[in-house]
Amino acid sequence: MEYIPVLLNAIQVDTTVGCDLFIQSGTNKETRYVLYCSGTKVIKSDKIADLQKHQVKYLFIRKIDQKIYLRYVESSLKHIINDNRVDVKEKAQVVCDVAKNIMNDVFEDPRSGENVERSKIWVSNTIDFIIRSKASFSSLLSVVSHDYYTYTHSVNVSVLGLLFAKYLCFDGGEMQSFGTGLLLHDVGKTQIDSEIINKKERLSEEEFARIKMHVEIGDDILRQTGCAGSTSFFAVMQHHEKHNGKGYPKGLRGDEIHKHGKIAGIIDVYDALTTKRSYSDAKKPFEALKIMNREMEGSFDDKYFKDFILFLGSGGEQQLQKNRNIFPIPEISTARNGAV
């Protein structure tokens, strides 16, 4: 049986977790996991206090129970974010783990209004974390996934987009609609064959035409749920539009594209380039920005693209800080770049 650690401070008193909790004991040669509390029993404050007294930071759950545990943590995410005893890096890990679990459920049942509502609540809590904590930038970026799956990409894009939105001084309401749109921007891919999405070779014209349909499919799915706000749809519908009018689905140009769509397009491509995909290794941040600037010249709004570079530099990307003046950049040749 495989066990994984869970943060003690994420466990709330007078609640039932829903899965068994264990304490690790034994030596390095022989590790044992002893049942501490049944998942059906209420956890009392004296038990938590006793563990804290003995400086226990983690309990353990069976790995097969991880989904149950993450649903429990999701219900108390606001409390965890506001708990000063929880380290900011641990908060960031919980925030991202909860988001991945939500998006897993969204992609399994995209037409569930409940799952869309869960997405919106997660965005609200994450905004609270970002606004409250100056260390949220580095902490969140340190725990985002570097392997590309549709649901992890959605989390990455939303996290990065919310951090960028704060940098651009979006107010709370605009951050909420923008972050929700980013989290759900690829929901239409649930209706596209996985063989096409994960194909290593260059897509055929027919396959590319099929995958481009995910934008309008996603828009239809979300409108049917009636849960996403009207401004959230800009990130969903326009993240593949290009500043030069060569994008899809409508071939919008320049300021015909809403600013949420412009920014979503930049972040979508950046994350796709900097995560490992079935057909491409992950690029370093500076290399990805060079590709975006030269290989994809004309695709992005110049102002927001430059703002995005400055934003990454301000967050402590050492390579970017050493190379702030990246315009112009030598052209790079690649076989297949960007997100689809």
Mean pLDDT of 31-46: 93
Give the integer Cα–Cα distance in Å for 130 and 329: 32
Round to the nearest angstrom and report the end-to-end CA distance of the chain: 39
pLDDT tens-digit readout, 279-313: 678 899 999 999 999 999 999 999 999 999 999 98
pTM of the full structure: 0.88
Residue 340 has pLDDT above 80, yes or no: no
- Give residue 28's pLDDT: 66
Residue 160 has pLDDT above 80, yes or no: yes
Domain identity same for 18 and 108: no
Domain identity same for 39 and 153: no
Q: Is 329 part of any domain? A: no
Domain identity same for 161 and 233: yes
Mean pLDDT of 314-330: 43
Q: Which helix (H) or strand (E) holds 24?
A: strand 21-26
Domain identity same for 214 and 269: yes
Q: Is 174 part of any domain? A: yes
Residue-number span of the structural domain to which 116 is assigned: 76-322
178: nearest Cα among 233, 255, 218, 130: 233
Residue 25 has pLDDT above 90, yes or no: no
Domain identity same for 43 and 102: no
Domain identity same for 116 and 171: yes
Return the structure tokens found at 92.
């960031």
Neighbouring C-beta atoms of residue 74, cutoff 10 Å:
19
pLDDT tens-digit readout, 84-103: 889 999 999 999 999 999 99
Share of the chain above pLDDT 70, in %: 91
- Give residue 329's pLDDT: 38
Domain count, the chain: 2
Edge-to-edge strands of the sheet including 31-37? 3-7, 58-62, 21-26, 31-37
Helices (H) and strands (E) in the chain, counts: 16, 4
For the CA atoms of 33, 85, 11, 78, what is the dihedral angle to 10 degrees?
Answer: -140
- Give residue 151's pLDDT: 82
Residue with tokens 């539009």: 241
Mean pLDDT of 112-130: 95
Report the CATH number at residue 114.
1.10.3210.10
